[in-house]
Structure 1
Amino acid sequence: MITLVRIRTLKALRSGLSEAEAAAVAARRDAEQYLAESEVSADSAIRAELAVEELRDALARSRADAARLEGELEALRAQSLLDNEDRQALRTLLRVTRKQSGQADRVYVLFHRGTLHSVHATSEAAETAAEAEGAAPSGWTAHTPGAALPPASEVLWRVQPLPLGGAR
């Protein structure tokens, strides 16, 4: 059987074939470009995932460091408060010491039946010493200035202030 094809039809077929081949070449070129772009995108996605993991690790380390530093800060604040309390206590002790180290102008002598028993810095210390030796805690009487003292041998316990620093 013989097939007859018209030249016009043959030309149309050949022209359609060349157009189809050109479209196929363009499609291959587009496919290669899309493939290259997808490889670049995949590489970028992998790099992004690695960067995210590194950032998460860095964030975890930063949070741990922040928690440790907060603990240290609390400890330092507590230490600072203790240091301030210590300084205040030292200032108070220094003030008291300075007041007490001022030269005393008198001492309090404790006599037992007229005999010297002990010498004290305060009247209260002398009375406490006498009470420790058996004196009645309520047996102390105040001496009226200018009045005559009873003889020392007649008094069981007597606290008498004596001036310091020479005769006055």
Structure 2
Amino acid sequence: MFRIVRSVVYAVLHTELDQARADLDQAHTDLDRIRADLDQAYTDLIEARNEQIRALIDAGTASDSAIRAEGAVETLRAALGRATADTARAEGELHALRPELLLDTEDRAALRKLVHIARKQTARATRVYALFHQGALHSVHASVEAAESAAEAEGAPPDGWTAYTPGSGVPGAAEVVWRVQPLPLGGAA
């Protein structure tokens, strides 16, 4: 069974989809920033270690140089720990957002299909097809095929349908057992 999606619901879905895309873009931006921070922290750590080595070589066994270097290492270790935690958090967010991205893709496909169905259903018909049985109106249908199927369900032979050109003479009602005739709707020609 088809469901018709109202334009308000479609607009809400579209807004939510745009918001989810914006959130995903923001998460990607945050992840890139955190990765850059991690790279910078790693570079700083390497530089600090190099400085520590140089300081140890320059200072020899002096305890004040060792204390300063140890403090720098602890500071860098703390920075590395924070950067590692930030990276883990960002990767967790990225991992959580990937299924949403896939769901967004599936949602877009479903919305396209629903919009297509809705457009087909809302297309304004310009004519209907009346089914006559021995000259009397039997039923009205949206298509010739639907009218012929209704007649066949009532016992009309599946073959033998002929099309009459508009403007040509139509056989009398007594001459034709089943007949489908197009009728224009409203102001349609």
Same fold judged by TM-score > 0.5?
A: yes
Q: Distance in 1 between matches of 2:97 and 2:108?
A: 16
RMSD: 3.4
Q: 1:117 aligns with which of 138, 142, 147?
A: 138
Identical amino acids, percent of aligned pairs: 42
Q: Which residue of 2 aligns with 1:24?
A: none
Could you list the per-position Cα deviations for residues 106-130 of structure 1 after superposition, in whole angstroms to 9, with x for gaps in the alignment? 3211112222210122222211222
Aligned equivalents of 1:164, 1:46: Cα separation in 2? 90
Is 1:153 matched up with 2:171?
no
In terms of Rg, which structure is larger?
1
Equivalent position SS for 1:118: strand
Q: Which residue matches 1:101?
A: 124
Query: Would you say 1:138 and 2:159 are equivalent positions?
Result: yes
What is the aligned residue count?
Answer: 128
Equivalent in the alignment of 2:3: none
Distance 1:75 1:155 in 2: 62
Distance in 2 (alpha carbons) for counterparts of 1:94 and 1:122: 18
| Matched ranges for 1:42-61 at <5 A | 42-61=66-85
Change (3 A) 1:66 1:148: closer
Structure 1 unaligned spans of 5+: 1-33
- Name structure 2 gaps, 5 residues minimum: 1-59
Query: TM-score normalised to the size of structure 1?
Result: 0.55
TM-score relative to the length of structure 2: 0.50
In structure 2, what is the Cα distance between the partners aligned to 1:117 and 1:148? Answer: 18
